[in-house]
Amino acid sequence: MATRQTTKTRRNDGGVRKAPRPNGGTSPIAVAGEKTAGKLAPKRPSPMPALTGLPIERESYASTALAETIDRSVHAAAARMTAGLSPPALAEAFSDWAFHLAYAPGKQAQLVQKAIKKYLRLTRYAGTCLASTNRTPPCIEPLPQDRRFTGEAWQTWPYNLIYQGFLLNQQWWHNAMTGVPGVTRQHENEVQFAARQILDVFSPANFLATNPELMKKTAEEGGMNLVRGWQNLAEDWERLISGRKPAGTEAFQVGRDVAATKGKVIYRNALIELIQYEPVTDTVRPEPVLIVPAWIMRYYILDLSPDNSLVRHLTRQGFTVFMISWKNPEPEDRDLGMDDYRELGVMAALDAVSAIVPGNKVHAAGYCLGGTLLAIAVAAMARDGDERLQSLTLFAAQTDFTDAGELSLFINESQLSFLEDMMWEQGFLDSHQLAGAFQMLRSNDLVWSRLLHDYLMGERRSMNDLLAWNADATRLPYRMHSEYLRQLFLNNELADARYVAGSKPVALGDIEVPIFVVGTERDHVAPWHSVHKIHFLCDAEVTFVLTTGGHNAGIVSEPGHPGRRYRVMTRTKDGLYVDPDSWLAEAAHKDGSWWPEWCDWLGERSAPPAPAPQMGGHETGFQPLCDAPGTYVLAD
């Protein structure tokens, strides 16, 4: 057992105090206002040494710097017109597909055969519809997630023929883009994704002349729906160019309607504010809960309205809850890296919690990217002999990125180089640029359905707390985002035990505390099959929950939410691995929210209730600084 030694720890006012840290750790302690001096390693390779014995011609530093600056400026300018997508990356993917298809006469013949069969199917369907007065069964069914053509009006002539032809055409292009011999998997996924985006533009649901529901509404209202839609478009455009949030978000004010659970900011540094929430029960579990949210968005998705706040639910169950609120980075924060987020974020918060609730271990929980960072921090703690944690919980957080879903379409060397040049000029990745990538992943739901309902139907979708939170986006520092994409997404260093934290690699297999993991069925950001891989990366006890919903709505799953259900199964420490499909068949089904399941799991690993700790630790220097939600979450 490693001995615990004494070193410095953080205070909420930027000072330092003595507190126990494991193994005499020497990681730097950053205080409010400090800047890190680390720089990104050069991403462009150095020239090869001469192999011929001839002298090497060396360019001057000024000449090299000028050339690189010109290249980066050109790429950054192009990125603003392509929403951050690299034209060379797309060209490479389409060239790979086109050249291999040109040298695949068998595939070409198969596509011709499929085209003829689909044409004949559509012709027979049209003839049957004309000859019969009853509804004709469709010759092709939409995908389960495609709800564009479910209305009754779409089943009438000629609109049934129009949408059936569109779906057959879409299916043919899917066949054409996939299964071409020799095309790399990455390129196949890219061209398939790009083709789907292009085809969705021409969906009959998007045009007045081919959408029966839209034509009916326009006729009934004498075109007033189009007038309202034009007004909605003008308002949205004015809000976008002026930097204002979407219409309706005014009803969800941070600190009043959302992020309204009572608490105090008891620590602040250059990167985080740490919130301690007030207890609502006479006694609490001695082990506090520290939550590490993602910094891609604001923390309060876990503290939305009072009736669906995970924080409020935990306090009502008798837990002391601490929450990290991340600072929205500015251009001067461009050189903050992943290790800065670990040290100034997770470890700084853990030091403060340990000082306020001394002698008690901590339940640590992380959501999305915050969960990935927390897993890195916990692995580093295990490596260094730090035993301050009682358990680890991961909400929709990936630790292995080999099957990271459609987000991985944007992750290759060409795309990352292009994205880095865009961030290099700005110092960060802007929230609008980040939102564009996520909207393309679900273009039918987030782009075209909005165009139809808001601008053609003239009907504003009702705003709710989750949509208002989704519009409250943040920026990402240049260095951190580059390291995250390269080291985790592209190189998968964490799963391979090559990720360096605090100057030494970490291995998830070192984690021994029990782990609770939540995946969601329709997650397009962290697919549950990918989240499930924690089972073979760790030998610890793992309780895995798969809940209905997506990346956000599946986590915001308060008791009483209609239609919620989940599966759960625990693998004991050093138990045998169960693959995702087998897990799906064996896991127990339960109705309702998974929140009570997690609270029971935490309770089983906690000591009996005791008096609640004070708000902050006055004698340790962690006096309350201001009321929750603090100042960082309110900054633009």
- Rounded-to-integer distance, Cα 167 and Cα 161, Å: 10
Catalytic residue among 368, 538, 599, 626: 368
Q: Name 566's bridge partners.
A: 547, 590
CA distance linking residue 480 with residue 370, whole number of Å = 13
What are the φ/ψ torsions at residue 166 (nearest 5 degrees)? -65, -45
Are 389 and 514 in contact by the 8 Å Cβ rule? The answer is no
Contact 88, 415 (CB under 8 A): no
Beta bridge partners of 263: 277
Q: For residue 617, count CB atoms less than 10 angstroms from its CB and return exposed for 0-12, middle for 13-18, buried for 19 or more.
A: buried
**Distance between CA 8 and CA 620 in Å, rounded?**
12
Tokens of 634: 């309110």
- H or E element, residue 4: strand 4-10
What residues are paired with 276 via a beta bridge? 264, 322
Query: How far is 104 from 562, CA to CA, in rounded Å?
Result: 51
Strands (E), 204-300: 263-268, 272-277, 283-284, 289-292
Distances (CA, A) of 170 to 176, 531, 609: 10, 31, 59
Please provide the DSSP assignment of 524-573 as one string: SSS-HHHHTTHHHH--S-EEEEEESS-TTTTTS--TT-TT-EEEEEEEPT
Task: Please give the helix or strand (H or E) that residue 443 lies within, else none.
Answer: helix 443-443
Look up 368 and say whether it is catalytic.
yes
Return all residues near 443 (Cβ < 8 A) that are at least 6 apart.
197, 200
Residues with a catalytic annotation lie at: 368
